[in-house]
Amino acid sequence: MWPFLLSFLVFVSHTYGISTKDDVNIALSVIEGTAGYRILNGTNQFGAHGDGGSGDGVIVMVNTSEELVGGLSECWRSRFPDYNGKYWVFLPMDLLDGSVAEFLQNSSCIAGIVLTDPSRPHHVYDQSPFSHDSSCPNDVSSWYREERGSCRNKINRGAEIPQGLRNVEWKVLMVYMKDPKQLDLVKKCYGLFNVPEDGSTSRSFPLCGMSFGLFNSAAGNSQICFRRGLENARIYAFNIDATAIPLMCNPLAGQNVFSWPVPAITGSKTEQSSKYMIIATRLDSFGLIPDVSAGELSVLTSLIAVLATAQAIGSSLENFEAAVNRSSRFVMFAVFNGESFDYIGSSATVERMRMGVFPLPQMNVTHIQPMNLSQIEVIIEPQQIGSTSGTDLFTHVDSDRYAKSKEPLDRILNAMRNGAFSAGSTVRPVKEGSKVPPASWHSFARGNGNIQSIVLSPFDDSYSYNRYNSMLDQNTWTLGERTKAISDISAAATAMLYAAADFTRTNVSNLKVDDKFVATLFDCMVMSEDWFSCNFLNTLNSQRVNKSFESYSYYSKSTFISVSNGNPLRFFVYWILVYALGTNRHTTNVKNKKSCMDLSEHQAVRRVAQDELLTVMQGIRKNTAQQYILDGTGCYRFKLNEMSVEKHQTLRSPPTKSDPKFLKTSRRTPSYEQFIGPQRHKNERLQFARSNMATDWNKIIFSDEKKFNLDGPDGYAHYWRDLRKDPMYFSKRNFGGGSLMVWAAFCGNGTVALSFIGTRTNSQDYQQLLAQHLLPYLRRRRRANMIYQQDNASVHASNSTLAWFAAKNVVLLDWPACSPDLNPVENLWSVLVRRVYANAKQYTTVNDLKRAIRAEWDGLDKSLLQPLVGSMPNRIFEVYSYDWQPDPWTGKYSCYRSSIQLVQLQSPAFSIEGYDFSNTTYSTWTESQYSIDTLNLFLIQDSSFDWIMLLIGIFIALFSFFIVGRCHESTFVIDEGEVQAEEGEPL
Amino acid sequence: MGYLLTTSCYIISFAPAFALFHRFIVHDPVRIILFVLGAFFWLVALLLSSLIWLGLGTLFDGYVVSIVIGIFLQELARVSYFLLLKEAQSGLNKITRPGEVSVAPGVTDLHNARHMLALVCGLGMGVMSGLFLTMNVFAAFSGPGTIGLPQAIEKSTTDVNRAGKYLPFFYALSALLLTLFHITWTIMVWDFCHKFGRTMSVYIPAVIAVVTHLAVSIVSSISASGLHFYVLVVQFLVFLGCAAYCHVIMGGTLVSLLNRGKSSAVDLVTLRFLRNTSQRYEAQQGEPLQVRNVET
């Protein structure tokens, strides 16, 4: 069919030489994230976005501020005397400063601005003020309350205007164009049509123009947006995806990486007395167009310093481990995300600590000790490392807290001084009345009055770097500047290394920051254009994420928190930390990915990280099914089908954009409650874990029920259903043909019993079942003191059943609610299901199915069951994550064991019921969902003839009616003497 | 550029067609059906041409050949339409001839109406071809841009002929002419079909139709090199010739045509149609086959 239609259309256009859209427009793709969209906080909306008017205009390219201001003042009338419309101004981004901001905002002839790369290279010590942040960054969330709103300490001298260029509601749409091919095209069009020809100062039609538009769904502020989103949700209440509130804006939420060189393990005697040092840094910055933020000095150099510290500790981990275990003083590396938006990552972390669910937010897990705020002694954060030509480093502490408890901090400061000295740098002594500049510490300071801070930075009273949080935080590096920066980073890393060593009472003699590692990371992150062009990162990545034109953070170097697609930087940080702090000593016998994943599978740490990674990936890949189901026991379960797991493992690229007018959609993250169930469940699991650390799991009989379908397991065929349509079934037989309920029990020594039961059992049926199948088994092993495990389904936990157990002397295991993940029977089911439905087998009768299940059950042997039961201690105790990844230097794969977590955190403001968004305690930043038009280049023609055309049209219409009015039926019906027409005769 | 322009273009292109439709077709259900059928026949011809073009395209660049074949197919469609009508005539007679039991309200007798039917069917074809000629272009005019940038970028130079501000006007006029041309060609071809087999001279209208169709198409292909105006003038003159010839076919003479033109011009200048509408009404009453009364 299609070839026909196609040939048809091609012929039409060919034969008549008529033009189609292809002869009018040149479409340029706009990478998501390069167009300025609206961001909102609790009280205002900001961002470079249009006012929704027409997005057409003639292109003008501007090279100096004078040219811009001159042109704006007269709307380029002298150059384009015949044209009265608006203009798209191409502007190198370093011309957009505070002085022209006002002109741009007040001009009536701007359709939009296309920002291009700076007109001149910027070097790191360049003093020109181009920060898009405010002069007192993050003052609303500062610990120093008196500064809030009326910041006295204007620390960011680089701010172009006091509130920061980002915190302006531009009425002008801005787009960043980076692709040189696109720019060349625009330049050519501009040169051909818009530049006055020799000897002339003006140019007339046709003119080169362009159009682009962006529509934001949200307006006002975050609170308004949320309220409207909920109203919308009510309209769409019949939506099957109950969690899918049609939000108009998405809370900024980023992936944070936490890693422990030596984790504190629950149950050890030190649980209460352990102390923590946090070495923190941030993962995010922003620019005027938020995504366009390379963040070299705002983020990357300090991040490298922290990674280098971790690598130094990791390379002599045994010493460190020994010392830590002796002293019970632990170090945690924290890479927070969203810090430049009022500390999203750190405030959410503090909130979790306060709730007692940090580091593991959602499971039974007691394996890493829950950290609480009072255990944290000090937070060290490096900032803007490498931003001055000097070698001095300044330490910023909170002088009040310092005065209260001088000795421990002095000790650390001293160690840092020694460390910096050994690396050729000097740490200046703490100043009197020192205050902590904007840093993650502020979140912690609000949570606990004793946490000390050391911000390590090359600046003293105010920032030495004038492009902090800016689109221009990207430098051209000379060889000398590069060498200097690398040595600065090494010095800062060494200072932190010595501090960590001193804190944990480790001997520093074996510890050294690897300069090659620092230099490599510097080349890979700071010097390179994106994350995909250096060997080290490419080897580490090994095609897990790829460069893409679909999203700016996958296309170029961006450190924006990047809510919609996620920023790949977090993966690299995660992988580098796994490499730096992980070890493959314990896993030398693991030879492939699968075994490594198997090790990881039962690890709660790992599971958290993976589930959240999956959530992210699924937001990106819409075709994977993801849903929450309410299972039989009233618990939410996060349900994934086999396909999506596969997709995650072969993760390649960010979203696909088939529609030019695509909607930037948010990743839908489940709310805290949905994800982990009510607090009561968490506590139960915690209790369960604590009380069963010494349990002999071989004595437990695990039991569970499962439904088998004739056509295959539930969950193999997922699809999204529109409730307004009739359901479609993947199976020809509705509801899987027919089904069978199976109860099974097993223990470490072998299978106990399998029985087929009705789909609806009551307590009596259940007791009868147990009397038939369980009691004989228990009687035979009376001496073994077996314990029976069952989940808390209503039938199992009814008073009648419990009484029955008591009467029969069956000991029950206390089982936390909603914890199928803890039950090894679940794994047994999956083995059984796989075998029963091997080769996509379907069964025609229930009896066939019964026979098959029975046969497979009988075929299960002890070698399979023993490891399942053996995994029980792991399920609740294991501390480590196992990652199959290459060594970034050699490319050789191995299974790294590390204690690391990649967690997505959103600001507590969005989880607190009824939180007042005008309150500045927590970050309330959201970004609007938006859709973008295609960017089109075209020729603009004189439209003065349009009205004449209309007049001509009216005239022709009148004239035709006149002429036709002169004709009558008789004009065309002429009696030529033909005979009256009969059948078959002429007309 | 914009919706105003697009609207104006459509008004210019289809105003005469609409006037004809309003005057002769809209009141008669049978004519409406035949009008639509005409459009359909033209589409079928176009579909076949495109298939042939696709086939030829694999062999050689058969641009001119395809045009020629396309034109012949269109004329063939006219002939087949005529044959179809002839087949259907007995049935049509039953619902159109006055006095028949099954006569439908509003229809007019088909007796002696072959030129009228040619007008109706030709208009259907013309409107469809005019629409196909222009709709893409007019849609492009509705946006902010005009034609020409992709080509200019490719060739690094401006092709003024493809980007002038009068371009939409030329397009609209050529669509207007094409619509009217199809009426004249249909009258000519059907006259040939009707008189087929009588004398050798019956071939003349068919030949004239095909030749002018070819000529008009080929002339239009040079308009892209900046000759829009001249091409339109030539086409307009050819159209006047065709119209005059149709007048002759319908039993008139050049002299009578000139006389009618003269009287029309006089009436137009003296605004007779405004001055004395009642007279015009009477003239309508005097028409031999007026069936308005049947409607009421």
Residues of chain A found within 8 Å of residue B172, distances taken between Cβ atoms: 949, 953
Residues of chain A found within 8 Å of residue B114, distances taken between Cβ atoms: 986-987
* Cβ contacts from A onto B, under 8 A: 260
Residues of chain B found within 8 Å of residue A11, distances taken between Cβ atoms: 46, 49-50, 53-54, 66, 70
Average pLDDT, chain A: 77
With 60 as the cut, is the pLDDT of residue A199 above it? yes
Q: Let me know: does A970 contact B25? Beta carbons within 8 Å.
A: no
Residues of chain B found within 8 Å of residue A194, distances taken between Cβ atoms: none
With 80 as the cut, is the pLDDT of residue A314 above it? yes
Residues of chain A found within 8 Å of residue B145, distances taken between Cβ atoms: 24-25, 209, 211, 936, 938-940
Are A741 and A638 in a shared domain?
no
Q: Chain A: nearest CA to B117, how far in angstroms?
A: 9
Across A14-23, A559-568, B21-30, least confident range = A14-23
Residue A312 placed within a domain: yes
Question: What's residue A593's pLDDT?
Answer: 79
Confidence of residue B81 (pLDDT cuts 50, 70, 90): very high
Are A521 and A452 in a shared domain?
yes
ipTM for the predicted complex: 0.88
Nearest CA in chain B to A193: B158
Question: What's residue A843's pLDDT?
Answer: 76
* A759 interfaces chain B, CB cutoff of 8 Å: no
Highest mean pLDDT among A192-201, A225-234, A279-288, B54-63: A279-288
**Test mutation, A187, A947, A972, A975, chain B, max B CBs within 10 A:** A972
Residue A724 placed within a domain: yes
Calculate the alpha carbon distances from A158 to A65, A154, A168 in Å.
18, 10, 16
Nearest CA in chain A to B5: A946
* A189 interfaces chain B, CB cutoff of 8 Å: yes
Q: How far apart are CA B105 and CA A547, in angstroms?
A: 71
**Test mutation, A959, A960, A967, chain B, max B CBs within 10 A:** A960
Q: What pLDDT digit, counting tens, does each position of B142-181 carry?
A: 877 777 788 788 877 766 666 677 888 888 999 999 999 9
Q: What is the CATH number of the domain that holds A858?
A: 3.30.420.10
Q: How far apart are CA B177 and CA B185, in angstroms?
A: 12
Q: How far apart are CA A790 and CA A810, in angstroms?
A: 12
Calculate the alpha carbon distances from A267 to A324, A692, A876 in Å.
16, 11, 11
Residue A711 placed within a domain: yes
**Test mutation, A54, A208, A967, A973, chain B, max B CBs within 10 A:** A973
Residue A486 placed within a domain: yes
Are A379 and A310 in a shared domain?
yes
Query: What mean pLDDT is predicted for residues A616-620?
Result: 36
Q: Which of residues 381-440 of A touch B (CB under 8 A)?
A: none
Interface contact B150-A24, CB threshold 8 A: yes
Residues of chain A found within 8 Å of residue B152, distances taken between Cβ atoms: 189, 192-193, 939
Interface contact B145-A209, CB threshold 8 A: yes
Interface contact B8-A952, CB threshold 8 A: yes
Q: Chain A: nearest CA to B282, how far in angstroms?
A: 12
Residues of chain B found within 8 Å of residue A954, distances taken between Cβ atoms: 11
DSSP class per residue in A416-452: HHHHHHHTT-EEPPPPTT--PPS-THHHHHHH-TT-E
Are A415 and A480 in a shared domain?
yes
| HSE-CB of A265 using CA atoms within 13 angstroms | 14
Q: Chain B: nearest CA to A898, how far in angstroms?
A: 56
Question: What's residue A817's pLDDT?
Answer: 62
Nearest CA in chain B to A17: B221
Residue whose C-alpha is closest to residue A812's, from A790, A827, A780: A790
Nearest CA in chain B to A8: B50
Are A534 and A659 in a shared domain?
yes
* Distance from chain centroid for Cα A682: 25
Residue A95 placed within a domain: no
Interface contact B12-A956, CB threshold 8 A: yes
Q: What pLDDT digit, counting tens, does each position of A631-668 carry?
A: 333 333 333 332 232 233 223 333 333 333 333 433 33
Q: What pLDDT digit, counting tens, does each position of B180-195 carry?
A: 999 999 999 999 998 8
Parse chain B into domains and list their residue ranges: 3-179
Interface contact B194-A986, CB threshold 8 A: yes
Q: Chain A: nearest CA to B5, how far in angstroms?
A: 5
Residue A419 placed within a domain: yes
Residues of chain B found within 8 Å of residue A956, distances taken between Cβ atoms: 11-12, 15-16, 176
* A984 interfaces chain B, CB cutoff of 8 Å: yes
Are A777 and A733 in a shared domain?
yes
Q: How far apart are CA A363 and CA A369, in angstroms?
A: 13
CB-nearest to A943 from B1, B18, B143 is: B1
**Test mutation, A6, A15, A961, chain B, max B CBs within 10 A:** A15
The residue to which tokens 């569970």 are assigned: A704
For residue A651, the surrounding DSSP H or E stretch is none
Interface contact A25-B150, CB threshold 8 A: yes
Helix runs in chain B, H state only: 3-20, 29-59, 63-96, 114-142, 149-155, 167-195, 203-220, 228-249, 254-270, 272-275, 277-285, 292-295
Q: Chain B: nearest CA to A110, how far in angstroms?
A: 16
Q: How many domains does chain A have?
A: 2
Q: Chain A: nearest CA to B109, how far in angstroms?
A: 10
CB-nearest to A23 from B18, B147, B168 is: B147
Question: What's residue B21's pLDDT?
Answer: 95
Residue A429 lies in domain:
253-670+893-906
Question: What's residue A398's pLDDT?
Answer: 92
Residues of chain A found within 8 Å of residue B163, distances taken between Cβ atoms: 206, 939, 941
Residue whose C-alpha is closest to residue A580's, from A276, A298, A889, A255: A889
Average pLDDT, chain B: 84
Nearest CA in chain B to A980: B111
Q: What pLDDT digit, counting tens, does each position of A376-423 carry?
A: 999 999 999 999 988 899 999 999 999 998 999 999 999 999 999 999
Residues of chain B found within 8 Å of residue A206, distances taken between Cβ atoms: 146, 148, 158, 163
Interface contact A956-B290, CB threshold 8 A: no
Question: What's residue A725's pLDDT?
Answer: 34
Cα-based angle A123, A128, A131 (whole degrees, multiple of 5): 95
Question: What's residue A325's pLDDT?
Answer: 86
* A197 interfaces chain B, CB cutoff of 8 Å: no
Residue A482 placed within a domain: yes
Length of chain B: 296
Three-class secondary structure of residue A26 per DSSP:
strand
Are A720 and A625 in a shared domain?
no
Nearest CA in chain B to A184: B153
A453-473 burial, b at 16+ Cβ within 10 Å, e below that, comes to bbbbbbbeeebbbbbbbbbbb
Q: What would the two tokens of residue B292 be?
A: 């308005």
Residue A48 placed within a domain: no
